[in-house]
Structure 1
Amino acid sequence: MNSSVPFEWMAATRFLREGRLQTAFIILGITIGVAVIVFMSALLSGLQVNFLNRVLTSSAQIQLLPLDQIARPLFGSGTVMEDATIQRPTQRIVSIDQWQKVRDRVGQIPGVLIVAPTMAGSALVTRGDASRAVRVSGIEPESYFQIIRIPDYLKAGKATLANNEIIVGTDLATNLGASLGDTLNVRAASGNTVVLRITGLFDLGNKGANESVSFVALRTAQSLLGQAGSVTTIEVKIADVYAAERLAVQIAAANPVKAESWIATNAQFFTAIRAQQSSNTLIRVFVGLSVAFGIAAVLVVSVIQRSKDIGILRAMGTTRGQILRIFLIQGGLLGFAGAVIGCGVGVGGVVWYHSLIRQADGSELFPLLLERQLFIVTMGIATITGLLSAMAPALRAARLDPVEAIRG
């Protein structure tokens, strides 16, 4: 006998070995519970990341816009109103006032990573007899492509934008019968026209965006839209995407702009994400409770079955504290063993499901995210659950009177 092993550990492992069937069943139950938690957590985390990527593929986390123009009544002499009919101003391109200062101030806010000014407006793109209405976005590639990663979605060409170049969606190119290197005539509502050469074709995974979005150099857009030196939007990338609404309120309060976060513009989607997170938490709670009750039930039965053994141990001088620790160790060992096996089963399940389920184009439905923290937390919670669920049976065993326990 190895005297270096504490008595409580020897007794706990012996009780588990002698009750092999009970031990096997409770470990199986814990394994299933932990596997469900790991599988659902990894699956929902991957789906959430995939949804976020889709939403933020073609939009920034925060977008700064000019303040709305306010229609005011006209007054004549005194307080006599000249025109009682108040109409909103007609739609026209409005620049952000002192946008350079706004850009610099926003860039200094903690949590803001990238700030990119853009000039956007509508234009008519023609090639031969084909024409399409598009949204032209003038950008600075060095900053803008760090927010909207167009280079990652290029199907052909390269993400360069000289003054005479344009990047368009694959569907727009198809509709115009154009390909890489062809030239397009781009005409704005003001009558300004430029001839641009296609240097890149992108596919954002959204047909509407692929048909109507195009990118040109910032100065090209300013010239085309007749807004030299102006910008209509400032795109902002932040470190924590879930802090977008808070930062948007902070930016709008300190600058003459309207700040819109992706959370506000995608309210239904954000609500769905929150509901998904809540459901995942509820699943973990209920699975954990079922595992805890299972461990407690088995250990209660074990205490009843081993009443005489416990009485003999107490008569031989074993203290109440040692009896208590014997059953707590059993609960902890059961929880830990089931957690280790369950993590392996859960990982195998999510890897199999990830390889099985694909999108129509054959790409993955969701990224496979197996974070170390998930396994550490899961095994820790399972072990603690085992200890807590063993507390009541352990206290019952420790309180047994040795004489009555031996008599049975």
Structure 2
Amino acid sequence: MNGLFPFELIAASRFLREGRMQTIFIISGIMIGVAVIVFMSAMLASMQQNFIKRILTSQPQVQLLVPEQIARPLRMQAPETETALIQRPTQRVLSIDQWPKIRDQMRAVEGVMVVSPSVSGSALAVRGNANRAISIVGMDPAVYYEIVKIPDYIVAGDAQIDTDDIIIGTELARDLGANTGDKLTVRAASGSSRILTIKGIVDLGNKGVNQRATFVMLRTAQSLLSLIGGVTTIDLRIDDVYAAETLAQQIQASIPIQADSWIKTNAQFFTAVHAQGTANTLIRLFVGLSVASGIAAVLVVSVIQRSKDIGILRAMGTSRSQVLRIFLIQGGLLALIGSLFGSALGGEAAILYHNYTRQADGSELFPLVLGPGLFVGSVLLATLTGVVAAIVPALRAAKLDPVVAIRG
């Protein structure tokens, strides 16, 4: 016998053809189970990738901030002096100390692709009788847009701004009754004010953010917030987005600065993703167990029904190992055929769901991720499960005594 086991393959195929109804039922069960696994895996991967893409293109992956100001008691106090109440100091808009040096250090860090200094603070936007509290981000568009993809989220106007221009969120534009080309008076707590022209309106996918978010040139924000020559944040884009928290901790340990990663600021999202992943794994496990149980049950029945055939084969010189391989091949063939049809069914169901499930404006709910690796992995896993499920029936068939089996 060569490595392809032709005799065992022919015998296994014949047994499956003779028990046609059993074979069809078990293949149908495997097909449905694999289709469920493929469909759910595709949906989960698509939603996760869509969420991560949305988060990573609307905020920095690592952000360096001025350390929080903390009040400390005096070190030298008389023993009889009662300690006064230590109050939290007012958090003022401060520049990062020696920020050009830190910027250059970050550019030299392995894995850091883009470094963008920026200024952020609070102000008041006034248009006619309407006014709203806003959050200003002053940046250099040429660099900042490589981290936060503002041009991708522009719904009106343009993302290219000058010193007298401003980009505002969709909700803020609606609250102020403003549109592109309109003028806004922006007043900071320092008393500085400036009349700016709305150059673009952006939708960052979050109502709260869209109510406050505004973007101006770096020098414009520095002037408004009385922070000439300073920056309040240094934003980073890195090549390995899942290493953001590790990198942030390393930076914070080496430089006296606060470093926040997108993983830390989106902890609830990661909790939800982890819960979804756990649920998907459990579903795969239970579906796999049901498929394995079905294959094992069918093969056990097949061993009982074909005990005489097995006895005759053994009497004609078929070895125990050959009988063992016959039933292992049966399990593998059942799983392989069922998983091929199931993968196709699951992929088609995912495509149909993606095509017919739309947002209110008619756009796609999320980009569909349906790579060949999902199908190949599902087929291989199901085939392996079928072979493993066939081990017990195969061992039982191999142990049959030919004389006892023929007598029945």
What's the TM-score, normalizing by structure 1? Answer: 0.93
- Which has the higher mean CA deviation after the structures are superposed, 83-92 or 153-162? 83-92
Superposition deviation, residue 164 in structure 1 = 1.7
Q: Is the 8 A contact 1:75 1:82 kept in 2?
A: no
- Give the gaps of 5 or more residues in structure 1: none
Structure 2 residue aligned with 1:112: 112
Deviations 1:351-392 (A, max 9, x none): 222223333333333321102111111111001111111111
Report the Cα distance in structure 2 between the residues aligned to 1:391 and 1:180, rounded to whole angstroms.
70
Alpha-carbon distance change, 51 to 72 in structure 1, aligned in 2, over 3 angstroms: same
- Give the gaps of 5 or more residues in structure 2: none
Structure 1 vs Structure 2: percent identity of aligned residues?
A: 61
SS of the aligned residue for 1:115 comes to: strand
Q: Is the 8 A contact 2:68 2:91 kept in 1?
A: no
Alpha-carbon distance change, 160 to 132 in structure 1, aligned in 2, over 3 angstroms: same
SS of the aligned residue for 1:94 comes to: coil
Structure 2 residue aligned with 1:176: 176
SS of the aligned residue for 2:24 comes to: helix
Report the Cα distance in structure 2 between the residues aligned to 1:197 and 1:366, rounded to whole angstroms.
34
Structure 1 residue aligned with 2:146: 146
Structure 2 residue aligned with 1:208: 208
Structure 2 residue aligned with 1:268: 268
Structure 2 residue aligned with 1:7: 7
Structure 1 residue aligned with 2:363: 363
Structure 2 residue aligned with 1:296: 296
Counterpart of 1:204, as a letter, is: L
1:279 paired to 2:279: yes
Alpha-carbon distance change, 245 to 76 in structure 1, aligned in 2, over 3 angstroms: closer
- Which has the higher mean CA deviation after the structures are superposed, 83-92 or 41-50? 83-92
SS of the aligned residue for 1:58 comes to: coil
1:317 paired to 2:317: yes
Structure 1 residue aligned with 2:345: 345
What's the TM-score, normalizing by structure 2? Answer: 0.93
Counterpart of 2:51, as a letter, is: F
Counterpart of 1:299, as a letter, is: L
Report the Cα distance in structure 1 between the residues aligned to 2:403 and 2:397, rounded to whole angstroms.
13
Deviations 1:259-309 (A, max 9, x none): 122332232222111111111111111111111111111111111111111
SS of the aligned residue for 1:161 comes to: coil
Alpha-carbon distance change, 33 to 237 in structure 1, aligned in 2, over 3 angstroms: same
Aligned Cα RMSD in Å?
A: 2.2
- Which has the higher mean CA deviation after the structures are superposed, 350-359 or 375-384? 350-359
Report the Cα distance in structure 2 between the residues aligned to 1:381 and 1:110, rounded to whole angstroms.
38
Superposition deviation, residue 142 in structure 1 = 2.2
Q: Is the 8 A contact 1:74 1:81 kept in 2?
A: no
Q: Is the 8 A contact 1:29 1:291 kept in 2?
A: yes
Q: Is the 8 A contact 1:336 1:382 kept in 2?
A: yes
Superposition deviation, residue 191 in structure 1 = 1.7
Superposition deviation, residue 121 in structure 1 = 0.9
Alpha-carbon distance change, 231 to 372 in structure 1, aligned in 2, over 3 angstroms: same
Structure 1 residue aligned with 2:72: 72
Q: Is the 8 A contact 1:134 1:214 kept in 2?
A: yes
- Which has the higher mean CA deviation after the structures are superposed, 84-93 or 14-23? 84-93
Superposition deviation, residue 120 in structure 1 = 0.4
Report the Cα distance in structure 1 between the residues aligned to 2:73 and 2:313, rounded to whole angstroms.
94
Counterpart of 1:224, as a letter, is: L
Correspondence list, 1:379-390, <5 A:
379-390=379-390
